[in-house]
Structures are given as C-alpha cells and as structure tokens.
Amino acid sequence: MGTKNSRLQGFYELNPFERLQMVKSFDGLNDEDLHMLHGGNGALSVERADKMIENVVGTFNLPLGVATNFQINGRDLLIPMVVEEPSIVAGASYAAKLVRAGGGFHTTSTKALMIGQVQLVKVSAPTSACYDILARKQEILDRANAQSRSLVALGGGACDLEVNFFPNSPMGSMLVVHLVVDCRDAMGANAINSMCEAVAPLLEQITGGRAYLRILSNLSDRRLSRARATIPPHALARDGLSGDEVVEGILWAYSFAAVDPYRATTHNKGIMNGIDPVLVATGNDWRAVEAGAHAYAARSGQYASLSVWERDAAGNLVGALEMPMAVGIIGGATKVHPTAQVALKLLDVQHAHELAEICVCAGLASNLAAMRALATEGIQRGHMGLHARQIAMAAGASGALVDEVACRMVEERNVKPARANELIIELQGHLTN
C-alpha cells in the first residue's frame, strides 16, 4: 500500500481553494494543473471547443468535485467527478469510507475486446456465405488491421471474426459479421469503424451481398470490469439502528431491484450516478457506457439490477458490480480537453482498464450510498439540505443568505421556491432594520 491517504479529514468543511491545495498535496499536481481545475471558463476555451464539435457558440460549466476515502486494490485515490446533482459526491465518499472498514474495493477486468458490425443483405446463399467468410478469416482480419497499425503494434487490433445469420427482420434476412477488436487503452470507436468500412467491400465480394451498416456495437459485453466490496455490520450502525438491521434493509432494497424492472431502472441509475461523473471528468463517452450498461442489465431477458448484494457467513454485507466499461485514456476528448487531462493525472492511471475499474468502484459506492439512505432515513432527507441551497440561490439569495434560507426551509420541511422568496424578503428586512 502506498503512503497516500484519501481519508481527507474535514475536506467538506474547507472552501474550494483550500480543497484544491489539499488535492495538490495529495497527488503532486502542479500550479498549471490547479489553474485548469480552478480556472472557470479558462479551462476550455471557445477556440478549442470549436474544434471538438460543430456549431460552437460557447462553453458550459458543471461543478467538478473530488470523492474522497477510496481505496482500490490497496491504493488510495481521490476521484474527480463532474456532476450537477447534489449528494452524489458526498454519498460516494461516505460509502467509500464504509468500504474501507472492510479492506477497500477489489477489482478485475477482462481484455478490452469490442465488436464492430458489418450488415450484409441480399445474400442469396447465406449458409454457404457463412462458411466462405470464415474460410477467409485471416484475409479479412489482415485488411482490418491494415487500418490501425499503431493499435496492432501495441498488441491489439482485430483478433477474431464471427458471423450471425438473422433469417427474419422487418426487411428480410441478413448476415451480420462481427469483427472482434482488442482496443488496448483506447475506447476504440474510431478504429473499429474504420476497420468495418475497410472490410465491407471484401465481404460483399465474398458473399455477393450488399453491405449497409458498418459500425461498432456499444454492447461491449466482452470488455467487462468488476468491483467487489465488503462492509462489516458495525460500520453501518446508526441512529439507534444496529448494523445487522441496516444490512437487512439494504438487502431488501437490493432484492426489490433484482425482481422488478421499475425499481431496477432507478437502482441502476444510482449506479450510473457514480460512474457518469468520472467519465465526464476524464473526457470519456458516458452515453456509450450508459447504453452498454442498460443493455447488459437486460441480458437475461428481463431488465434487472447490475449489482449483486448478499450477506456472507460472517454477517458482512458484500456487494459486487460487473458491467461493460468501454473507456479510453488516449484519443478523443481525453487528449483535447485540458481539464480531462488533469483529471487523468489526478487518478494516475497508466491503462484504460485501471480507469474502468475506478469507474465501477465509484458506481458500487454510489449504489451503496443510495440503498443505505433508502433503508435508513429515506433518500429525500439526504438530498434536502443541498436541494434547499439550490432553491435559495434560484430565488435570488446570495452569500451568507443562501445558507440561512436553506437552513430555515429544511427545519420547516418546506423546501419550495415560494417559501424561499418569503424568507429572503423576511431576512433581508431584518438586515436593513
């Protein structure tokens, strides 16, 4: 275990600048890195944004927070999270503290295998066409790999070929060829799409059919990451509830998601609450990961919980999360967006699978935080304080008045814009008298 300690006592009580200095001392960021994290609009210039997407007219800021307490495979980490929803960063940090009591998170990953698909239609003899394609497998793989020699040089590239026959569709039968590509430390979308484009004419020649779609699949079910956490009951005890009672409540909350798609959808949203902010912070395609996650959740034929929770023989709460995680640390926005580069530096990851494993740990932590809140105090109370601050600011409060208005609304359990307006008028009147 390294000397770094992500248990930053009193971190939430500091102001943003003080927190930034503590983050710098934790991970050796330099002053330029701090400027990127604390630079507001300067972090992403309009000029740079104009090169990233089309029709740029400006940039849009979101809060960047740091989740503390994470220990993953014996290594302490601070996790950057970009998100607008209250309680996510705090919840993940608190859950990570609970997991530390049981030895921290433990993770594994599969190889970074992704699938590119080429759709072939109007194939007159599909059965023999399948054999013909597989007979020329190496020729097809070689043509694909000619499109990305750098990936091949790193030990990746197209490594396998599969053919699927769909006899019925709304338009008729089709063959779908799968290129299986090892993407190494890239997300891989651009490389895979180029490979599919390159092999499509050869597949048309082999089959006598016509190639339509040539594109990667975001169901990256061969690129999985897994996280496991053990929480002793004593760490969960609170407010007159024993640890065993809290474990019981969490297991009932999980069981609800395991059998009911309506609950599973919100349960899995709670998992993605932890994952998406890390993806955004590091410049990764969170929409691709979301798509793959929800498809994977329905792989049994019914949409269900991505995570699994149980009680071990010693009475500990044990959680596990396995899901597709197509992320990269090279290429795309990860190398264009300056704040994403600083986020990756803070995480100190050398390979994409390390980032993927951090993401699933953040997801499992967020899941634990939500279920614990639901099983003990209800999710609304946990959200109320931060939500009240947002309502107060939206009503026009600023400075110290924000906290005063928020506290009054929470005490009254009346967190509404109309009440915020009334309190602002009342409190401002006291200040002027």
Catalytic annotation, residues:
85, 269, 285, 383
Q: How many whole angstroms separate alpha carbon 326 and alpha carbon 319? A: 22
> How far apart are alpha carbons 310 and 132 in whole angstroms?
48
User: How would you class 429 by CB atoms within 10 Å of its CB: exposed for 0-12, middle for 13-18, buried for 19 or more?
Assistant: exposed
Structure tokens at 251: 């297991």
**Cα 281 from Cα 291, distance rounded (Å):** 18
